[in-house]
Structure 1
Amino acid sequence: MRARTEKLYQKVVNAITAAIEQGRYKTGSRLPGERELAEEFAVSRPTIREAMIALEIRGLVEARHGSGLYVTVPPRRTAEPAELDIGAFELLEARILFEGETAALAATAIDDAGLAALDRVLAEMAGCDPGGAEAMAADRQFHLLIAEATGNTAIGMIVETLWNLRDHSRLSAHMFAEARREGVNPRVEEHRLIVDALRSRDSATARAAMRSHLKRVVDDLLEATEVEAMRRTRSELEERRGVLNRRLDA
């Protein structure tokens, strides 16, 4: 008996792994495009993206620049790696839920020292390279400071755990790294709106500002992964056009 429900992206990964084992997709062959796979498995394109990244991490497929995903080696059946279990979209859904309420509670409890600490982190975030490690560290510290401001140790531990998952889950980390390569970086102004709401001791506005910020992260991640998907789609179209031209010229 399974201890937990199998996630959609895992179902796609397992189905494609089985197809490789059965010879439907042979070593060196190219997998179908994202849209075709989404239709075949009746899932969203973000789910297909997570599945493709999971297959890459397992070493079953490789991305060839401007060409798509190709099968590399026949799979060996192993247990589902725990570090692949949390995707970026699933993680962000949890963060929207927990960190939205965390910001609302922090608005009722934060003191002047807590606000000053957030102002310092904002200044650091604004003064460093947006895509660098310092900006990423400042972003993490900003959110952990808000959790700390609630005065609730359990809340602080939960928020820190969610951030640790972002960095330590290979699937999630891979997707966020892809977003950074496409220029997705922390937005200082969005963070400042959260601090403004906390300074006003306005729980409803703090909750809304945090949720809006994290929903924007979701949008950014979707757009960043769509860029790669579009590159692959263009490559597929060029390949089909080349085949058609050769047939017409024959």
Structure 2
Amino acid sequence: MKITGNKLYQRVAASITEAIEAGRWSPGSRLPGERDLAEEYKVSRPTIREAMIALEMKGWIEARHGSGLYVTKREHGGGERADSLNFDVGAFDLTEARILFEGEAVALAAVSITDEQIAELEELIAEMAADDSNEPSVMDADHRFHLAIANATGNAAIRSVVEYLWELRVNSPLAANMFARAKRGGITPRVEEHRPILDALKAHDPHAARNAMRRHLRGVVDDLLEATELEAMERARSEIETRRDSVARRLKIGSA
């Protein structure tokens, strides 16, 4: 099945709710795995993940630890329809946009940044490193670090775009939910990933600055993928690790 249109995760979520209402998956039944759904709908696994989180937030499905995702037993008929599943921007789309805009913003900033602005970034990194166990403080310093870079471009429009993308982390329900999951998983901004960005800015090297920013934000995507991994995949990984340990033990015995 091929899904078309904007906000792909919404289209997938809407199609799944329609299938539930049509009886393809009855209340209490388990949904197919993430990989199977991605193949069926011809979309990426991150898109399926955003769709599943949107459906879970709306109460259409529920995650059961170590088992997977199941259709809830509530009556959907006459309730919220599939076309009401508008959660705006997901965290993956948001971070992809940040890679694009902030990658170019930092390259521009590398050309025009002042010593005073570099000193401000130094202080913000020191602030993040000083108390990395204080999550709200680290997040605030991280936010100000990225905005300071946007401000260093000297372009008010660029700063406004970067600020808007950061606001979406809170104002988009789906993105906020996904970042909250990452937070519960103990994932916080990585201070060490900010240092190469600052080093490139100090060297006034646009190419290195762009690459460092993109590496940092791709790390955010990796963190989100890990934090939002579906229960079925978590169980599969656990089973694989158990088998791997068992094989390793057997091989060790055989070589003794």
Q: TM-score range by the shorter chain?
A: 0.7 to 0.9
1:199-218 to structure 2, matched below 5 A, reads 199-218=202-221
Could you tell me which residue of structure 1 aligns to residue 158 of structure 2? 155
- Contact kept, 8 Å, 1:66 with 1:235, in 2: the verdict is no
- Other structure's SS at 1:17 match: helix
CA RMSD, 1 decimal: 2.4
Distance of 2:220 and 2:232 partners within structure 1: 18
Distance of 2:82 and 2:103 partners within structure 1: 38
TM-score, with length taken from structure 1: 0.84
Q: 1:77 aligns with which of 47, 57, 81?
A: 81
- Other structure's SS at 1:62 match: strand
Cα-to-partner distance string for 1:64-123 (whole Å, 9 max, x where unaligned)? 2222222223152264455x1211111111111110111011112221221111111111
Could you tell me which residue of structure 1 aligns to residue 243 of structure 2? none
Distance 1:150 1:135, change over 3 A: same
Deviation at 1:173, TM superposition (A): 1.6
Could you tell me which residue of structure 2 aligns to residue 30 of structure 1? 30
- Other structure's SS at 1:86 match: coil
Counterpart of 1:24 in structure 2: which amino acid? R
Could you tell me which residue of structure 2 aligns to residue 65 of structure 1? 65
Structure 1 residue 114 corresponds to structure 2 residue 108: no
- Other structure's SS at 2:26 match: coil
- Other structure's SS at 1:32 match: coil
Calculate percent identity across the aligned residue pairs: 61
Distance of 2:192 and 2:178 partners within structure 1: 23
Distance 1:236 1:191, change over 3 A: closer
- Contact kept, 8 Å, 2:66 with 2:232, in 1: the verdict is no
- Other structure's SS at 1:144 match: helix
Distance of 2:134 and 2:186 partners within structure 1: 7
* Gapped regions of structure 2 (runs ≥ 5): 241-256
Farther-moved stretch of structure 1 (176-185 vs 87-96): 176-185
Could you tell me which residue of structure 1 aligns to residue 222 of structure 2? 219
Aligned residues: 233
Deviation at 1:144, TM superposition (A): 0.5
Deviation at 1:131, TM superposition (A): 6.6
Distance of 2:108 and 2:197 partners within structure 1: 13
1:121-200 to structure 2, matched below 5 A, reads 121-130=124-133, 132-200=135-203
Counterpart of 2:81 in structure 1: which amino acid? R
Distance of 1:185 and 1:5 partners within structure 2: 33
Farther-moved stretch of structure 1 (127-136 vs 113-122): 127-136
Distance of 1:182 and 1:164 partners within structure 2: 22
Distance of 1:236 and 1:45 partners within structure 2: 20
Cα-to-partner distance string for 1:42-77 (whole Å, 9 max, x where unaligned)? 322211111100101112112222222222231522
- Contact kept, 8 Å, 2:109 with 2:153, in 1: the verdict is yes
* Gapped regions of structure 1 (runs ≥ 5): 238-250
